[in-house]
Chain A
Amino acid sequence: MQEVQAIKQARGSGPAARGLKGAIGRAEIPNLIPLTSSWLILLLIVSQLLFVFYMTFVPGLPTDPGWTLKHWTNVMHTRMLTKVIPNTVVVGFGTILVATFFALPLAWLLNRTSLPFRNTFITLMAVAVIVPGFLKAMGWIMLLNERIGLVNKAIGALLGIARIPLSVTDNPWGIGWVMGLMLTPTMFFLVSGPMRALDPALEEAAEVAGNSEWSITWRVSLPLIWPAILAGIIYTFMTAISVFEVPALLGAASGKVPVLATELFYAVRPSGPDVADLAYGAGGVYGLLIALPSLVALYFYLRSLTQARRYEVITGKAYRPRDIDLGPLKWLGLGFVGLYLLLAVILPLLVLFWASVLPYLQMPSAEALSKVSLVNYRDLLAAIGGMSILWNTVILTVSVALLVLFFSLMVSWVVVRTQTRFAKTMDIIAMLPHAIPGLAFAFALAMLAIFVAKWFPSVPFQGTLGIIVLANVITKIAYGTRITNAALVQVQADLEECAQLCGARNLTVIFRVLMPLIKPSLVFAGLWTCLLTFREVTLTLFLAESHNRVLAVSIWQLWQSGNVGTAAAGGVIMVLVMSVMVFAMLKLAGGILIEQRRVGLTNVRG
Chain B
Amino acid sequence: MFSKQDNKPPSGYVRIVAGALLLGVAFVPQISPAATVNELVAKAKQEGVLNATVTSSLTGKTTQQLAAAFKKRFGLDIEITLTPVGDTENYPKAIAETRTGVVPTYDAMEGSETHNLALMRVGGIQKIDDWESLAGGINSYVRSGKAHADQLSPAVLNGFAFAYLTRIKALIYNPRLISIKDLPRTHAELADPKYKGKWTQPPWTTHWEPGPMVFPDIGKEKWLEIVRNAGKNAGTVLPENPGVQRVLLGEYAFTPANTYYAFQAKAKDPQAPIEITYFKDYNLMTSSYYIVRKGARRPAGATLFSFWMATPEAKAIWQPAIFVTQFMWGESELDKKVRQLIHDSGAKLVDFISTEKGRDLLAWYGTEEGVKYTQSMGKAIRGE
Which A residues lie at the B interface, using CB under 8 A?
A: 61, 63, 79, 134, 138, 141-142, 145, 147-148, 169-170, 248-249, 251, 253-256, 258, 266, 269-278, 359-363, 367, 371, 379, 382-386, 389, 446-447, 450-451, 453-454, 457, 462-463, 541-542, 544-547, 549, 554, 557-566
Q: How far is the CA of A79 from the CA of B383 in the complex (A)?
A: 13
Given A274-B114, A382-B59; A546-B83 close (CB under 8 Å): yes
- State whether A359 touches B269 (Cβ < 8 A): yes
The one of B57, B64, B97 in contact with A562, judged by C-beta atoms closer than 8 angstroms, is: B57
* CB within 8 Å of A: which B353-376 residues: 371, 374-375
Closest B residue to A145 by beta carbon equals: B251
Decide if B269 touches A360 in the complex (CB within 8 Å). yes
Give bound CA distance, A383 to B117, whole Å.
32
Contact A546 B56 (CB under 8 A): no
A451 to B93, CA, bound (A): 12
Can you sample 17 A-B contacts with CB below 8 Å?
A63-B99, A63-B100, A170-B236, A251-B236, A253-B203, A254-B234, A269-B88, A270-B374, A271-B204, A276-B91, A277-B92, A277-B118, A359-B265, A389-B60, A541-B89, A546-B106, A562-B241
B224 lies within 8 A of chain A by Cβ? no
Chain B residues near A269 (CB, 8 Å)? Answer: 88, 204
**What residues on A are CB-neighbors of B97 within 8 Å?**
450, 453
Let me know if A557 and B56 touch, CB within 8 A.
yes
The answer to whether the Cβ of B245 comes within 8 Å of any Cβ in the partner chain is yes
Q: What residues on B are CB-neighbors of A367 within 8 Å? A: 271
* A546 vs B54: C-alpha distance when bound (angstroms): 11
Chain A residues, CB < 8 A from B88 = 269, 273-275
Please, which residue of chain B has its CB at the minimum distance from the CB of A258?
B382
Chain B residue with Cβ nearest A273: B88
Of A147, A249, A451, A554, the most chain B CB neighbours within 10 A belong to A147
Does B249 make an interface contact (CB < 8 A)?
A: yes
- A383 contacts which of B56, B60, B245, B378 (Cβ < 8 Å)? B60
5 closest A-B pairs (Cβ-Cβ)? A272-B204, A255-B382, A561-B57, A276-B118, A359-B268
B251 touches A147 (CB 8 A): yes
Contact call B112/A560, Cβ cutoff below 8 A: no
Query: Contacting A276 at CB < 8 Å: which of B95, B203, B239?
Result: B95
Q: Does B331 contact A (CB under 8 A)?
A: no
Of A145, A271, A278, A384, which contacts B92 at CB under 8 A?
A278
Is residue B202 contacting chain A, with contact meaning CB distance below 8 A? Answer: yes
Residue numbers in A under 8 Å from B117 (CB-CB): 276
In angstroms, Cα B379 to Cα A382, docked, is 40
- A367–B269 Cα distance when bound, in Å, is 12
* Contact A273/B382 with A61-B99, A169-B236, A450-B96 known, Cβ cut-off 8 Å: no
Query: In the complex, which residue of chain A has the Cβ closest to the Cβ of B63?
Result: A385
- In angstroms, Cα B99 to Cα A453, docked, is 13
List residues of B (72-91) whose CB comes within 8 Å of A's CBs: 81, 83-89, 91
A419 to chain B, nearest CB (A): 44
> How many B residues touch the partner, as a band?
35 or more
Please judge, given known A-B contacts A61-B100, A271-B374, A447-B96, whether A148 and B249 are in contact too, CB under 8 Å. Answer: yes
**Which A residues touch B237, using CB under 8 A?**
253-255
Q: Is residue B231 within 8 Å, beta carbon to beta carbon, of the partner chain?
A: yes
Query: B236 to A563, Cβ gap below 8 A?
Result: no
Residues on A with beta carbons closer than 8 Å to the beta carbon of B235:
254
In the docked arrangement, what's the CA distance between A272 and B258, Å? Answer: 15
Q: Return the contact of B101 from the options A251, A371, A454, A560 (Cβ within 8 A).
A: A454
Main secondary structure of the interface of A (DSSP, over half): loop
* Chain B residues within an 8 Å CB radius of A389: 60
Residue of A nearest to B237 (CB): A254
Which residue from B57, B81, B236 sits with its C-beta under 8 Å from A546? B81
Is B251 a contact of A362 with CB atoms below 8 Å? no
A79's closest neighbor in chain B, by CB? Answer: B384
CB-based contact A566/B59 at 8 Å:
yes
Other-chain residue from A371, A384, A457 in contact with B60 (beta carbon distance below 8 A): A384
Supposing A274-B115, A277-B95, A383-B60 touch, asked if A254 and B51 sit within 8 A by C-beta, the answer is no
Closest residue to A141 on the B side, CB-wise? B251
The B252-299 residues at the A interface (CB cut-off 8 A) are 260-261, 264-265, 268-269, 271-272
The 8 A CB mask of B133-167 against A (1 = contact, 0 = none) is 00000000000000000000000000000000000
Extra contacts, 14 of them, besides A147-B251, A554-B60 (Cβ < 8 A), are A141-B249, A249-B238, A254-B238, A270-B375, A271-B377, A359-B269, A383-B61, A385-B60, A451-B100, A545-B105, A546-B106, A561-B57, A562-B57, A562-B260
Cβ of B376 to closest chain A Cβ, rounded Å: 9
Closest to A451 in B: B100
CA distance A389 to B60 in the complex (A): 10
Which residues of B have CB within 8 Å of A251? 236
* Chain A residues with CB below 8 A from B375, complex form: 270-271
Establish whether residues A382 and B204, one from each chain, have CB atoms under 8 Å apart when the complex forms: no
Q: Are A382 and B378 in contact (CB under 8 A)?
A: no
B102-124 with Cβ < 8 A to chain A: 102-103, 105-106, 112, 114-115, 117-119
CB pair A463 B205 closer than 8 Å = no
> Are the C-beta atoms of A562 and B59 separated by less than 8 Å?
no
CB distance from B323 to the nearest CB of A (A): 9
CB distance from A257 to the nearest CB of B (A): 10
Residue numbers in A under 8 Å from B272 (CB-CB) = 359-360
Q: Are A253 and B238 in contact (CB under 8 A)?
A: yes
Given A142, A371, A446, which contacts B269 in the complex, CB threshold below 8 Å? A371
Q: Name the CB-closest residue of A to B232.
A: A255
Docked complex Cα distance between A450 and B249 (Å): 43
- How far, in Å, is B149 (CB) from chain A's closest CB? 25
